[in-house]
A and B are shown apart, each in its own frame.
Chain A
């Protein structure tokens, strides 16, 4: 029982702090009751019990962490200026990369010049736009979620 509670306690640590504070002790107690019954009734094997518990907890851990992201007050707190900055950085970066390609091609050594141009193109066309898209989408999605939450709270 002690090991099971310790393992479940470790799972609970993956929840956001606010959620853990509100439901942590109660969830541990419910788990204790459930685990005690399972052990006594032998209705399920330990492996089946743990598998379904981990699958169920994982889904809720992801859900609660995602929903708490918009409430965070740190770096990940989304805002419209961040969305707009992320979107405007892209054309600026494309221009800078185009200039780098042009400069690379001007290098007299053909191997260095070719490698520089390929790297600059790869950064311009794939890696950075992909990263910017992901970051922009994140900020955009959570700004929208937050906007709806505000609307809901205001109408409450």
Chain B
């Protein structure tokens, strides 16, 4: 299986899907909506991109099929993060945090707040 480091950096679609699934099991359309919310509309994911990414992530063992939910439509398949997926997400977030720290230490973006709010 590919090393975690070889999977980095993640594409925006894969990173956002992992972020969404870190909060719990979700089905396709929930993932799509949450990604749009999380990225403030910055990452617009269509069906093609979503399922193309899901296929790759299943193959790389980053996510797994969580089956169907009782009471929900059987065609809605839920996905969950795997242990490996969580490790990859942590490694990617670490990379982001290190980059943000570098930007801060070099004062490259004085108008940008790194505490979360966009200035």
Contact = CB atoms under 8 A, between A and B. Distances in A.
Interface of A: 19, 22-23, 25-31, 33-34, 52-53, 55-61, 63-64, 152, 155-156
Interface stretch (B50-58, B91-99, B110-118): B50-58
A60 to B, nearest CB: 3
B28 A26 contact: yes
A156 B1 contact: yes
Contact of B51 (A27, A55, A152, A155): A27
A101 B48 CA distance: 52
Contacts of A19: 55
A30 B32 contact: yes
Given A22-B55, A152-B2, A156-B1, A30 B48 contact: no
Q: Is the contact region of chain B dominated by helix, strand, or loop, or is it mixed?
A: helix
B44 interface: yes
A26 B55 contact: no
Given A23-B54, A33-B29, A52 B48 contact: no
Interface residues on B, range: 20 to 34
Interface of B: 1-2, 27-29, 32, 44, 46-52, 54-55, 73, 75-77
A60 B1 contact: no
Contacts of B73: 29
B27 to A, nearest CB: 8
Contact of B75 (A29, A55, A59): A29
Nearest to A28: B75
Contacts of B75: 25-26, 28-29
A59 B110 CA distance: 38
Contacts of B49: 56, 59-60
